[in-house]
Structure 1
Amino acid sequence: MFKPLIYFILLLKILFFSPLLHANFDKAMEIYNTGKFYEAKTAFEALAAIGDRSSLFNLGVMYYRGESVVKNPVKAYVLMRIANDGVGDENFSHVAKSIFAKFDEAQRIEAEQLFVELNTIYNVSEIENNIFPKPLSDADCVPETTPIKKTTPRYPSSELSSGRMGLVHMEFTISPEGYPRDIIATRSTSKDFTKASVKAIKRDLYKRPADGKPIYNHRTIYTYKLEGASVKVRTKQLTKELNELAAAADSGDAVAQYIYGSRLNTFRYFKRYLEKVDLQYKTANAWFTKSAKSGLPNAQYEIGRNMLAGRGCEVDVVNGYKWINAAAIGGYSPAQNTLAQSALSEQDNLPAKSRAAIAWLRNSVQSNNFTARLLLAWELSTSNFSELRNGEEALRLLESKADNYFDEVRIMETRAAAYAESGNFKAAIKWQKKAQKLASSLGWSIPLISERLDGYRQNVPFRGSYY
């Protein structure tokens, strides 16, 4: 006699080793196997939204068992049926048919009606028609946000004397006042180039966002170029590197596809040396897409945020966040940070959203991500919900060193907020004054810094978002 629960346990293990498996599915299964059914359901839903059949099937299993949802065998059957559509997997088919065989006439009618409804959401062919970026040429894309005041970095003397060219990838937040904040160097050819770039970017100024909200995940690249024979040698090296990566990407290597797309985006800043290479964003996106389809979280995140920004494609916020969700489930800390920032920046900041944001940040901290530590420390110090605050934990989070994060003002303010939440207002005032002094030396006019300082002087902790 067929025993559904035992069979489902076996099926989950079979799916775990399925060749159709996305890399993110490993993480979802880990969550499921620890009994965290709400989180597992969220993970399976996120992966099903980008067309992962195994995740969709396992979502059906959870509805059959009533794990974190109201038990619903009809919906379970429908999800399993959609997951198997066009595949014909015997395991999928056997379980779905066994469930359907037990339905009475009313349940069978309900199943057919629900299939029509859910098939428009979860059908893999339908998802693939919508989930991927719609390519646009650079000329047709949303214009890049550029500073209204741009500081040119000084070429480091150590690198200049050695005849080395360089580049530094910078990601940052454009604050409501127009200042580059939360500055992160995601890639650099040397510490000296990084230092010069950070010093310059802190003096830049952007147009204030029209809605008064910060613009997250903005990015720019600083390039340091030389002329002469050394440039020709370096150009040959760049061309060789691209050709080798292209060959590996063409072979189907998902990691190579992601790296190749990243290099194309980087080398677009050296266009005049690489005239024969297609360096448009949409070309890089095509490689990111191939890598993302294989389940590489890094590529999924890159595709997602490019869709949010309209970089090389049409702006698509809904589907962009689906990719970012998948990357976050896969354990990619920048994606987890992005989801946390999104949840915390919404106006209807409810306890559930704050808890979700904190959960993402705690996961990101596991990857030793300093930005996540800082964001989590701020939320633990300033949350509007008392049950979520923990100043002592916030201070412990701030003990680690910020290797590639360069917003010292925010670090100081977060430390001040943590001390205030812990009741040590003397230390809070000390660190807030330091933040105020540093901001002033940079020419930043940020009223909130003074407002927070005034509050600490009155023994009042700060509550609310950083920006």
Structure 2
Amino acid sequence: MGFCSYKSFVILFCLIFTPLTKADLLSATLNYHQGSYSEAKREFLQLAHLGNADAIYNVAVMYLHGQGVEKNKAQAFAWFSLAADFGLLDARDTAMLIAEQTDNKQPLDDAYNALLKQLSFQWYDQQLRPELNASPALHLSPERRYTVEPKYPEHAYKNGIEGWVWLEFDIDKSGAVTDITLIDSYPEKTFDKAIINAVRRWQYQGNNQTLPYYNRSLLYHFTTYKGKQYEQSFKSQQREYNEKISDLIDAAEQGNALVQYYIANWLSSNDYNATRLLKYHWQQANANGELLLRSAVNGYANSQYRIGANMLRGKYGKVDREKGLNWILLAAQSGFASAQYRLGRELLNSQYVDYAPNKALKWLRAAAEQGLFSAKRDIALLLFDLKKPMQQVSTALNEALAGDNEHPQLLLLKAKIHAATGNSNDARKLSNSALKEAQTRNWDQSSIRHFIATLP
């Protein structure tokens, strides 16, 4: 029986056969071993500029042996020295050996200093590196006051299928959850509906400083607690499970960014049987964070976005807006729609010096082109606030309404457009519809009521 047919946590093992759409350390290394040196160098350089120490080391090797580039000991010395700065002791030994065998060391120093102007550990430390061992920052955020637990899908429970769902959602002034966005889930579509239906009913409490709250992130784990229910069957299959876990560990250590990302998610909960076996290899308390970072510096956009979002909310110590936005920008440049939307959203926050509505609009449009409803919604609202031509606002509004034609904020915006053009009767009808829909969804109605009070 092929191991991808297991219906317990072993479903995770299918991941090692899932092709990556973007280069990571594993694919770059495969290109290197297959003699595709130009492609390998391009990929290694891309990863090097994310702070990937192994990629930096491999660029040095290519210069040392003249693989895909002209053989150059000075460049090899520079890249080995840089890899040493990132903590690779073998690289320091090799750099010292090159220096010992070179009479004129000035070209070596010149090459190293020139490289440091492009990439250095100091730059990585200042611009990207999170403090994974730091305690989460104590900062104002809304607290959940009412929770509905999701119902475990019966077919998944009976078959021992476990997994997780990554959501983001907004919280309005009343503490209601609005506009849930599914970012990622595993297995795909297995648990999505259950958690979304539950989260819609959650309620939060806060104050004027914490509400409304945008882009609340949730990684929810669905586990069957099989350690108790299936202990005997687990023991009988543990040897085979261990073999599959070994395959996953090898893939992660060889630089498969997707596997690193998935293992990081599994290690973030202790309730999976998979976690029990994976923790034999990754025993440190923050193993999930370390693997998530490795996946991020390995070029995986999901991980880059998660790292950035964590920094914005202070998970790694203080809230670090600059580093957080840098990681989100990397993910956005890779085409990750949620990162593009978040970047646009952050650039609309006028309390920060990076406030830039026009840049925000650019990123929101990039996310909207990929079908992200929240981006379409915000584009329409932003164009109205920027006093763009009404035809332009109406076009954006219609595109957003195609995703939710009864959305209270969008109906209110449509009412405002009618009011601005002197059509008070339609404005009142639309605002009343917006109010009724907000009541149905149990969303905040204060802004709608305030607008209705201004109508003649």
Q: TM-score range by the shorter chain?
A: 0.5 to 0.7
2:266 paired with 1:263: yes
Q: 1:251 to 1:20 in 2, by over 3 A?
A: closer
Residue 198 of structure 2 corresponds to: 200
2:180 paired with 1:179: no
TM-score by length of 2: 0.62
Residue 141 of structure 1 corresponds to: 136
| 1:288-314 per-position Cα deviation (integer Å, ceiling 9, x unaligned) | 322322333322212211222233555
Q: 1:360 to 1:242 in 2, by over 3 A?
A: farther
Separation in 2, partners of 1:241, 1:327: 30
Residue 127 of structure 1 corresponds to: 123
Secondary structure of 1:311's aligned partner: coil
| Ranges in structure 2 where 5+ consecutive residues have no aligned partner | 1-37, 56-74, 81-112
Q: 1:251 to 1:16 in 2, by over 3 A?
A: closer
Query: Residue type matched to 1:208 in 2?
Result: G
How many residues end up aligned between the 2 structures?
Answer: 353
Secondary structure of 1:185's aligned partner: strand
Separation in 1, partners of 2:347, 2:302: 21
Q: 1:260 to 1:388 in 2, by over 3 A?
A: farther
| 1:248-283 per-position Cα deviation (integer Å, ceiling 9, x unaligned) | 111112233233323333xx1626884452598832
Paired residues of 1:416 and 1:430 also in contact (CA < 8 A): no
Paired residues of 1:203 and 1:442 also in contact (CA < 8 A): no
Residue 366 of structure 2 corresponds to: 363
| Ranges in structure 1 where 5+ consecutive residues have no aligned partner | 1-13, 26-46, 54-82, 89-115, 403-407, 459-467
Separation in 2, partners of 1:289, 1:261: 9
User: Post-superposition shift, 1:439?
Assistant: 2.9
Separation in 1, partners of 2:436, 2:133: 45
2:322 paired with 1:327: no
Separation in 2, partners of 1:243, 1:163: 21
Among the aligned pairs, what percent are the same residue?
22
Separation in 2, partners of 1:393, 1:173: 24
Separation in 1, partners of 2:315, 2:299: 21
Residue 14 of structure 2 corresponds to: none
User: Post-superposition shift, 1:324?
Assistant: 1.3
Residue 414 of structure 1 corresponds to: 410
Paired residues of 2:401 and 2:410 also in contact (CA < 8 A): no
Paired residues of 2:266 and 2:272 also in contact (CA < 8 A): no
Paired residues of 2:408 and 2:438 also in contact (CA < 8 A): no
Secondary structure of 2:378's aligned partner: helix
Separation in 1, partners of 2:311, 2:263: 19
| 1:116-160 per-position Cα deviation (integer Å, ceiling 9, x unaligned) | 9x99996522113332111227xx334796412222344556766
User: Post-superposition shift, 1:425?
Assistant: 6.0
Query: Residue type matched to 1:322 in 2?
Result: N
Residue 311 of structure 2 corresponds to: 307
TM-score by length of 1: 0.60
User: Post-superposition shift, 1:430?
Assistant: 4.4
User: Post-superposition shift, 1:286?
Assistant: 1.7
Q: 1:325 to 1:279 in 2, by over 3 A?
A: farther
Residue 148 of structure 2 corresponds to: 151
Query: Residue type matched to 1:129 in 2?
Result: D
Paired residues of 2:412 and 2:430 also in contact (CA < 8 A): yes
Query: Residue type matched to 1:446 in 2?
Result: Q
Paired residues of 1:166 and 1:190 also in contact (CA < 8 A): no
Q: 1:281 to 1:383 in 2, by over 3 A?
A: farther
Secondary structure of 1:218's aligned partner: strand
Residue 109 of structure 1 corresponds to: none
Separation in 2, partners of 1:358, 1:349: 17
Q: 1:375 to 1:127 in 2, by over 3 A?
A: same
Residue 392 of structure 2 corresponds to: 390
